[in-house]
Structure 1
Amino acid sequence: MRAIEITRSGGPEVLEWREVPDPEPGRGDVLIDVAASAVNRADVLQRQGNYQPPQGASPYPGLEVSGVVAAVGADVEHFKAGDEVCALLAGGGYAERVAVPWQQVMPVPRGVRLEEAAGLPEVACTVWSNVFMLGRLRKGETLLVHGGASGIGTFAVQLAKAFGANVVVTVGSSGKGERVKELGADAYVNYREEDFAEQVKADVILDIMGAKYLAGNVRALKTGGRLVVIGMQGGRKAELDLGVLLAKRASVHGTTLRARPVEEKGAIVRSVVENVWPLIDAGAVRPVVFAELPMSDAAEAHRMVDSGDHVGKILLVR
């Protein structure tokens, strides 16, 4: 098969479409003929040499795919050849085929094109597990989402609104802010011009920045608030005023999804199919696709992500 290889650490030019060995599915695996994958920030970090795949994972980038089941291994009862599916991966999505544990495979929601479905697994599992399972967002509460125009941000806005929450996002321009308001956000803060901690008081904060926003996030939390940190784009280390945190009886959680055991990912996937897929089936939540490029043009897709000008997901289509 062909796949995108990271030939060395560096810029988008290090991504090359090459002939590579076919995946070898094991017991309990589903072999998928890939229709599309999607670009995530983790792929960019891996390309730069800053985020290595978990032990045993494919070396090729790509944390989600959609496609058609080509074959199933022993002990797989829920899927069969010919099924249209999407899947959460530990790596290997930028390829013509991928083998993935059946627990991480999902049916394509109704009304979603097969290629579009590639943009759902990572954002749906990330948002549901962090904002709802861990952050316990409830109807009437306020969610603050940093990076509101990203794939995760655009999905979090729609899902939180579908569950009756108020949603505020941070964005880098008014143009992006207005686009995210069209998806349901109640308000936005332009982080280039305003201090979000002075503008927002939130029950739950979904943060991709890490160190740079830690103090501001704690200031922005309401009493009993929950801060969930899922990224470190703003650095790894910061000083935390525990007095402020304790006075608010607030909590700080740090999580990742990629390296979790299959059983944990499977539990998240099942919960997503049960709680999120019906909203997509009903049209209340939709994948937001900025662009679709041929998979062989992964380098150009990474340049688009690096520019930061996109809203939603960038797909790589076979």
Structure 2
Amino acid sequence: MRAIEIYRPAELADLIITDQPLPSPAAHQVLIKVVAAGVNRPDLMQRKGLYPPPPGASAVLGLEVSGIIEAIGSEVTEFTAGDPVCALLTGGGYAEYCLTSASCCLPIPKGLSFIQAAALPETFFTVWSNLFDRAKLQAGESLLVHGGTSGIGTTAIQIGKAFGSRVIVTAGSEEKCQYCQKLGADLAINYRQQDFVAAVLHHTDNRGVDVVLDIIGGDYLPRNLKCLAIDGRLQQIAIQHGGKSEINLASVLMKRLTISGTTLRPRSDDFKAKIARQLFAKVWPLLEAGQLEPIIDSVFPLTKAAEAHERMESSQHIGKIILEI
């Protein structure tokens, strides 16, 4: 089968097509004939040698796919060969075939294409788990999302609004801010032109927001804490500005703040299966009803994976970047 392999990880030119043996599913796994694969920032980090796959995971890039189940393991009962699915992976998505646990697969929502379905797993699993399982976001509460036009951001805006939250986002241009508001954001802040802390406090009458979902880290940490209301929760899911920062812990004490962080890839199949069940019950009906939709920025063939990475690194994209296999 064709798959993307990394040579000299720092260079885009070193994403090349290779021929690899067809994998066979273990008892709890399915083999998927991949139609489309999502591109995510962890893929870029892995390409640069900054995010090695967890033990036992495929070294091939790709954390989410859509496709057709080709074969099933001996213990799999919920799917059969021929079923169209989208799936969360620990790696291996940039290939014609990939393996994953059957518990990390979901049926493609009715009405969605394979391209759209490939944009669902990584962002929807991440946003749902962090906003509702960890940050305990409730209807009527307020949410600040950084990177409003990223795959995470466009998903968080829609899910936050669908479940009754007031959503504020940051983005890097007026065009992106307008798009976020089109998706439902109550306020979009151009962080290149405005102090987002001042804008958030002004919008909330100095109360602050209940939850911050942050992919930036670094120098954003103390600013995020200033944005939080009493009993506010900061949910850190990426660190694009680095993993180090300095804060005044007095504000954490005085406002009873909670700071939490997660990464999804190394978590167990059982943990991911729980999220999958929640999404199927609570979010899949909204996708099928057209109340939510995956936002697709662009689609590249597998042979243009390097160009897809360049598109993501430019930060000009709005929504998800997809590889069509």
**TM-score, normalization by structure 1:** 0.98
**d(CA) in 2 for partners of 1:183 and 1:101?**
33
The DSSP-based 3-state class of the residue aligned with 1:219 is: helix
Q: Which residue of 1 aligns with 2:13?
A: 13
**d(CA) in 2 for partners of 1:211 and 1:10?**
22
Deviations 1:104-155 (A, max 9, x none): 0100011111221000000100000001111111111111000000001001
Is residue 188 of structure 1 aligned with residue 195 of structure 2? no
The DSSP-based 3-state class of the residue aligned with 1:115 is: helix
Is residue 219 of structure 1 aligned with residue 226 of structure 2? yes
Q: Which residue of 2 aligns with 1:112?
A: 112
Q: Which residue of 2 aligns with 1:205?
A: 212
Amino acid aligned to 1:166: R
**d(CA) in 2 for partners of 1:87 and 1:158?**
21
Deviations 1:129-185 (A, max 9, x none): 001111111111111000000001001101111111111111010111101111111
Matched ranges for 1:239-254 at <5 A = 239-254=246-261
Q: Which residues of structure 2 form unaligned runs of 5+?
A: 201-207
User: Alpha-carbon deviation of 1:240?
Assistant: 2.1
The DSSP-based 3-state class of the residue aligned with 1:9 is: coil
Amino acid aligned to 1:300: E
Q: Which residue of 2 aligns with 1:175?
A: 175
Amino acid aligned to 1:303: E
Q: Which residue of 1 aligns with 2:33?
A: 33
Q: Which residue of 2 aligns with 1:313?
A: 320
Q: Which residue of 1 aligns with 2:140?
A: 140
**d(CA) in 2 for partners of 1:212 and 1:67?**
40
Q: Which residue of 1 aligns with 2:49?
A: 49
Q: Alignment partner for residue 303 of structure 1, among 302, 305, 310?
A: 310
The DSSP-based 3-state class of the residue aligned with 2:128 is: helix
Q: Which residue of 1 aligns with 2:156?
A: 156
Which 4+ residue blocks in structure 1 deviate beyond 4 angstroms? none
Q: Which residue of 1 aligns with 2:203?
A: none
Amino acid aligned to 1:311: I
Q: Alignment partner for residue 265 of structure 2, among 258, 274, 280?
A: 258
% identity of equivalent residues: 48
Cα RMSD between the aligned structures? 0.8
**d(CA) in 2 for partners of 1:42 and 1:232?**
11
User: Alpha-carbon deviation of 1:48?
Assistant: 0.8
Q: Which residue of 2 aligns with 1:285?
A: 292
User: Alpha-carbon deviation of 1:11?
Assistant: 2.8
The DSSP-based 3-state class of the residue aligned with 1:127 is: helix
**d(CA) in 1 for partners of 2:129 and 2:26?**
27
**d(CA) in 2 for partners of 1:24 and 1:110?**
29
Q: Which residue of 2 aligns with 1:75?
A: 75
**d(CA) in 2 for partners of 1:48 and 1:266?**
30
**d(CA) in 1 for partners of 2:21 and 2:46?**
20
Q: Which residues of structure 1 form unaligned runs of 5+?
A: none
